[in-house]
Structure 1
Amino acid sequence: MKRLFINLFYLIAILINVSFASCTEKEQTEEPFIKVSKETFSFSNDESEALLYIQSNIDYSIASDKQWCSVTQQESTSTQTEKYQIKVSENNEVENRTATITINSSLQNLQIIVEQTAGHGLIVKEKSYQVKSQGGKFTVELSANGEYSYSIDNSWITETTDSKSRAMKDYTIDFNVSANHGQERIGNITFTLGNISETVTVTQEKGEAATVSGETPWDICASLGLGWNLGNQLDAHNNGIAEETAWGNQPTTQALFDQLAFTGFTSVRIPVTWLGHIGEAPSYTIDAEYLNRVAEVVGYAESAGLNAIINIHHDGADSNYWLNIKDAAKDETLNTSIKEQITAIWTQIANKFKDKGNFLVFESMNEIHDGGWGWGENLTDGGKQYAVLNEWNQVFVDAVRATGGNNTNRYLGVPGYVTNIDLTVEHFVLPKDIVNNRLMVAVHFYSPNEFTLNDEYSEWGHTGDSSKKPNWGDEEYLKSQLNRMKTKFIDNGIPAYIGEIGCVHRSNERSEAFRLYYLEYLCKAAKEYGMAPFYWDNGSASAGKECSGLFNHATGEILNNALEVIEVMKRGIFDNSESYTLEHVYENAPL
């Protein structure tokens, strides 16, 4: 038994020696090596990570050549295999990018290529622009590698070019800045591509305010220029309550008034109905919220550099409301009460705006009549209604002047009966005033209304088909009416303006041609006879009766062929070339 144990001991020892010798021989004969699991990594533009495995029996170092690409060793479970995390940050650049991870060893150097696609790249070259008060164009240069968008936070900045985006492209986009007639102002254009935003700041210097000015009717007419009415807006009302959206228009905005100025209008008339916003006697307090909204809209005109006229509008409509001339002419007690209310209302309005400059005009009231539109009891009452209206206009002037401030010499508009030219010439009495040349007579002109308002006829003027036009109201009539105003007022140093003109949109080209001719002829004649015209725009985009919209009152969007309409009216008012005469317009009537 002892001999067997000894033999086993020697046998085990021999086996151990053989095994050791075999292992030592293997270590001495294994070649050095280094291997990688992957030679190229591709990532999207987002922050991402991946694992790299390195097998090696020799020492090495590892490093990335870009900061956005990091290499971090992880815990390994094998003696000859190391694990590394490759991590890339989000790529916000406009181009793809590449990093190289280098593995250095005594055996060889290996390179791992890391590629990352571009993010939503957006680079704006200049971040701020300075613009003169008179406005003008500026150009934004940018680079983008995708479909970008932009927004503008002020309506006085508008795009003038269409720029189509293509991958990795340099762009130039032109913007226009309207003239500034107020304090310095700042706007922003924000460009967006994916989750990247770049903001451009536009600063425009202070400008000169608009103003009605002049000591002669001709000067005052020129300062008013071409006017426009914000119709069916603040004058709208239902059930005895004025409400801005009552007749279909959405609340108006600064964008509209900037568009008006941009397209060439120089003055706006803002009719205001006060029904339902006036308190009880004797104070007749105007609702503050409503008065503030009127002031806000006046501010739109001021910011856009437009002259503005505000008034009392449908409170006197057809003698159905508190400005009831029909009953006032028969009842002196009622007339006295109405005059007290006129004083109270205009005192409050005038005080609200007493610090505003002469860009703002007050107009006492609108088309005052007894329901007969000039063909009612005014023709048979011995002139009582005309006399009452003259009294009301005087009360208005006195109330405004009494508030002081800039109201002391503010220009004021005073209408004749139903703003009819014939009745105004025959019966209007100019109120007494404490300053000279600050009262302007207000009339309206829609003749012939069968063509201009009701669309009963499609043609007008000397070239129109007699079967398609009214049997009255052609060019000679128009001139004779304006000449009556000139002879009675303008020639005697009394300024006047045509507070409403208009002609509805037509649905066919020929009818629209006569519409354009009518408006150009009327505007040219108004200028030659010394009066500024104001186009009535009710916001309607349709064609036919009472459809006279040029602009969307909320957005300023151009409706139909409004630019054509505006251009002919502008030509009538602003073209001073010797060859452009009223006769020239006449000779170019539609055939």
Structure 2
Amino acid sequence: MKKLRPIIWLAAACAFLTAPACTAVPPADKTEAPTTLTISENEIQVPAAGIENKTLTISAPSRPLVSGVPDWITWQDGVFDKYKSTCTVSVAPNTAYKSREAEITVTAGALSKTVRISQAAAQRPAPGPDPDPATENAQQLAERLGLGWNMGNQFDGYYNGSWAGAKEGYPDECVWQPGEGDEYKATQDTFDGVRAAGFTSVRIPVSWLKMIGPAPNYKIDNTWMERIYEVVGYAHTAGLNVIINTHHDENHGADNTYQWLDIKNAAKNSKLNETIKAEITAVWTQIAERFKDCGGWLIMEGFNELNDGGWGWSEEFKADPTKQCNILNEWNQVFVDAVRATGGKNATRWLAVPTYAANPEYTTYLTLPADPAGKTILAVHFYDPSDYTIGEKQYTDWGHTGAAGKKASWGNEDHVRQVFGKLKTNYLDKGIPVYLGEFGCSMRKRSESRAWSFYKYYMEYVVKAAKTYGLPCFLWDNGAAGAGQEQHGYIHHGTGACIGNAREVIDVMYKAWNNSDASYTLQSVYDNAPSY
């Protein structure tokens, strides 16, 4: 038997090797690697509402890598199998009134392709119903204007000083902004950003100066007028109320003639006063005619802070305040008469007139102009105490919890209540609206917790007091970023984005004006003042 085993084994092996082909195991499936990178879609159009889980198929010789995905797009890689990958793309809703685009790069080794995703802008709501000043009372106007914002050092800026050369006396949109390039030019985005931040109104200070031609016509430069009109339109499109004025046309003792609103010398020279009144009539007639088609959302403010340069402290003014204040009363009347004479919507438009130096303490000398429409607003400014808000001392503290030596010697909370209370009693309660055309405080450093806490407290208290007493208030914003004297930058004047730590302060002010919870009062703000 042992001798037969090799023969049997050999026979079995031969039988196996000669088995029919249909019983063989098929070879493994092999896909040939592509030599190119392909994507099922290279251009994707997305509605403002966004999309979820859109499928893209990528074919590549190696696993593809993706870069350049912004935070509003979610890109989910799929399994890479047989040189293919199926990915999903989701795009968040676009709430901005501006389209956006992203270019996403897909690479596989040395190969590269781009996927461009374009998303439509959000649908901008139409501005609300046009307010009718003829049927609006002081309280309703205050509620409509609400918390406002100044586009300061923008259209009121002008070339001044020895560096100006031949441009001296000419207004320029960006000359007082941090950069003179297009980066700081006002855009629709600017006012969309202002509205999104929580403001409901804007004051656009305007200097006219050498943009005004010679007597007797005093023709305003058309390009300058049209640019102001364009920017006012941006603000209205964003759903904001708007105030425009004459700003640095007033002469505070400067040795020039282009700052033509010279109250000091007009009080001494009746002929000069008549010349200035003729120019006021000509200038405001032109402005009123150009903006005649604008609805009740536009307010015209005759002047800014008219004074002789002493802000009420000059010896000449103190000797007899009535001399200059009576001139201001005359000018306010000329302004109202000029605008009303143009008719149309200007016949009942709200018009604002200031006190001397826009100081609420000088209402004593103010005579409101005779207005056939009865639609005159009192405009004042509030920067008390100036040693804390805008002066060189830049104290760290303010209010009843502030420490002696670290705060101004006057201007605590009781002063705020006293000033605002008088305005309410003497004007609002008599049906005459009042607004704070400017208020604010130089920005403090957030890293210095004590100064930052008191700064926020001041802003909250003033706005809450303004709301309590029915005074719409307009934050002064000169575009200057950072902290320190005259640093009042909150919103970038070109982009509408918040600057630095400004968002935190804006939120405090927004709360102060808009929070109507019964437990949140002026007293509760006072009770929660910083304590160190």
TM-score exceeds 0.5: yes
Higher relative contact order, chain-length normalized (CA < 8 Å, sep 6+): 2
Question: Where does 1:460-499 land on structure 2 (aligned, <5 Å)?
Answer: 460-499=398-437
* In 1, Cα distance between equivalents of 2:187 and 2:43: 32
Secondary structure of the equivalent of 1:237? coil
Q: Does 1:309 align with 2:243?
A: yes
- Among residues 441, 444, 458, which one is paired with 1:503 in the alignment? 441
Displacement of 1:316 in angstroms is: 0.3
Residue 92 of structure 2 aligns to a residue in which SS? strand
Shift of 1:403: 1.1
Which residue of 1 is the match for residue 373 of structure 2? 435
Q: Deviations over 1:35-83 (max 9, x none)?
A: xxx99463112xxxxxxxxxxxxxxxxxxxxxxxxxxxxxxxxxxxxxx
Contact 1:319 1:325 in 2 (8 A): no
Name which of 495, 507, 519 aligns with 2:459.
519
Unaligned runs of 5+ in 2: 1-29, 59-64, 79-86, 105-112, 160-167, 179-183
Q: What secondary structure is seen at the aligned counterpart in 2 of 1:241? A: coil
> 2:21: which partner in 1?
none
Q: Could you list the per-position Cα deviations for residues 423-461 of structure 1 after superposition, in whole angstroms to 9, with x for gaps in the alignment?
A: 1x201111111213x211000000001111125211000
Structure 1 residues 186-237: Cα deviation after superposition (integer angstroms, max 9, x where no partner): 8544443445434443462652337555633221110001001001111111
- Displacement of 1:164: 5.5
CA contact (8 A) 2:138 2:431 kept: yes
| Residues 354-409 of structure 1: per-residue CA shift (max 9 Å, x gap) | 00111111000100000101112222235111011011111111111111121111
The answer for the alignment partner of 1:247 in structure 2 is 176
Report the residue type matching 2:371 in the other structure.
D
1:535 pairs, out of 472, 475, 488, with 475
Task: Say if 2:522 is the partner of 1:582.
Answer: yes
Alignment CA distance shift 1:208-1:252 (3 Å): closer
Q: 1:418 aligns with which of 340, 345, 357?
A: 357
Question: Once the two structures are superposed, what CA deviation does each residue of 1:266-317 show, in whole Å capped at 9, x if it has no partner?
Answer: 0000000111211000111111111111111111101110001000001104
Segment of structure 1 superposing worse, 411-420 or 555-564: 555-564
Question: Structure 1 unaligned runs (5+)?
Answer: 1-37, 46-90, 94-120, 130-137, 151-158, 179-185
Separation (CA, whole Å) in 1 of partners of 2:125 and 2:74: 34
Structure 2 partner of 1:456: 394
1:43 matched to 2:35? The reply is yes
Q: Is the 8 A contact 1:269 1:309 kept in 2?
A: yes
Find the counterpart in structure 1 of residue 214 from structure 2. Answer: 280
2:123 to 159, 181, 204: 204
Alpha-carbon distance in structure 2 between the residues aligned to 1:187 and 1:564:
25
Deviation at 1:127, TM superposition (A): 4.0
1:573 Cα deviation (Å)? Answer: 1.0
Shift of the alpha carbon at 1:245? 1.4
Asked if 1:220 is matched to 2:141, the reply is yes
Amino acid corresponding to residue 274 of structure 2 in structure 1: T
- In the other structure, the counterpart of 2:8 is none
Amino acid at match of 1:460: W
The one-letter code of the counterpart of 2:241 is N
Aligned match of 2:273: 335
The amino acid across from 1:495 in the alignment is P
Question: 2: distance between equivalents of 1:533 and 1:187?
Answer: 29
1:331 and 1:381 mapped to 2: Cα distance?
16
The superposition leaves residues 1-28 of structure 1 with CA deviations (integer Å, 9 ceiling, x where unpaired) of xxxxxxxxxxxxxxxxxxxxxxxxxxxx
Task: Report the alpha carbon displacement of residue 527 of structure 1 after superposing the two structures with TM.
Answer: 1.2
**Aligned residue in 1 for 2:103:** 192
CA distance in 1, matches of 2:242, 2:31: 74
Q: 1:364 to 1:148 in 2, by over 3 A?
A: farther
Going from structure 1 to structure 2, the CA distance change for 1:176 and 1:475 (only over 3 Å counts) comes to: farther
CA 1:140–1:282: 2 relative to 1, 3 Å: farther
* In 1, Cα distance between equivalents of 2:55 and 2:480: 42
Structure 2 residue aligned with 1:170, among 64, 71, 88? 88
**Residues in 2 aligned to 1:466 and 1:43: alpha-carbon distance in whole angstroms:** 79
Preserved contact between residue 210 and residue 359 of structure 1 (Cα < 8 Å): no
Q: CA RMSD in A?
A: 2.3
Taking structure 1 as reference, are residues 408 and 176 closer, same or farther at Cα in structure 2, changes over 3 Å only? farther
Instruction: State the partner residue of 1:549.
Output: 489
Question: Matches of 2:93 and 2:33 in 1, distance apart?
Answer: 44
Large movers: runs of 4+ above 6 Å: none
For residues 129 and 317 of structure 2, the distance between their equivalents in structure 1, rounded to whole angstroms, comes to 39
Partner SS, residue 140 of structure 2: helix
Amino acid corresponding to residue 216 of structure 1 in structure 2: N
Equivalent residue for 1:383?
A: 322
2:74–2:90 CA contact under 8 A, matched in 1:
no
Contact 1:229 1:500 in 2 (8 A): yes
Q: Distance in 2 between matches of 1:587 and 1:128?
A: 49
Distance 1:165 1:471, change over 3 A: same
**TM score, norm. by length of structure 1:** 0.73
2:51 to 130, 140, 149: 140
Is the 1:526–1:532 contact (alpha carbons within 8 Å) kept by the matching residues of 2? yes
Amino acid at match of 1:326: K
1-structure distance, mates of 2:403, 2:345: 52
Q: Match for 1:256: what amino acid?
A: T
> Using a 3 Å threshold, how does the CA distance of structure 1 residues 260 and 195 change in structure 2: closer, same or farther?
same
Query: Given that residues 148 and 165 in structure 1 are in contact (C-alpha distance below 8 angstroms), is that contact kept between their aligned partners in structure 2?
Result: no
User: Does the residue aligned with 2:252 lie in a helix, a strand or coil?
Assistant: helix
CA contact (8 A) 1:210 1:306 kept: no
Contact 1:267 1:307 in 2 (8 A): yes
The 3 A distance-change label for structure 1 pair 202 and 245 is: closer
Q: Which residue does the alignment assign to 1:24?
A: none
Please state if 1:371 is matched with 2:292.
no
Counterpart of 1:264 in structure 2 is 198
Q: Percent identity?
A: 42
Please tell me whether the aligned partners of residues 328 and 334 of structure 1 are also in contact (alpha carbons under 8 angstroms): yes
Secondary structure, counterpart of 2:50 in structure 1: strand
| 3-state SS of 1:192 partner | strand
Q: Which amino acid aligns with 2:214?
A: E
- Offset of 1:553 from its aligned partner? 1.0
> Per the alignment, in what secondary structure is the counterpart of residue 569 of structure 1?
helix
User: Letter of the aligned partner of 2:384 in structure 1?
Assistant: S
The residue identity in structure 2 corresponding to 1:291 is: M
SS at match of 1:370: coil
What corresponds to 2:19 in structure 1? none
Is the 8 Å Cα contact of residues 74 and 91 (structure 2) preserved in structure 1?
no
Higher strand proportion: 1
Partner-residue secondary structure (3-state), 1:242: coil
Distance across 1 between alignment mates of 2:296 and 2:190:
22
Provide TM-score, normalisation by structure 2.
Answer: 0.81
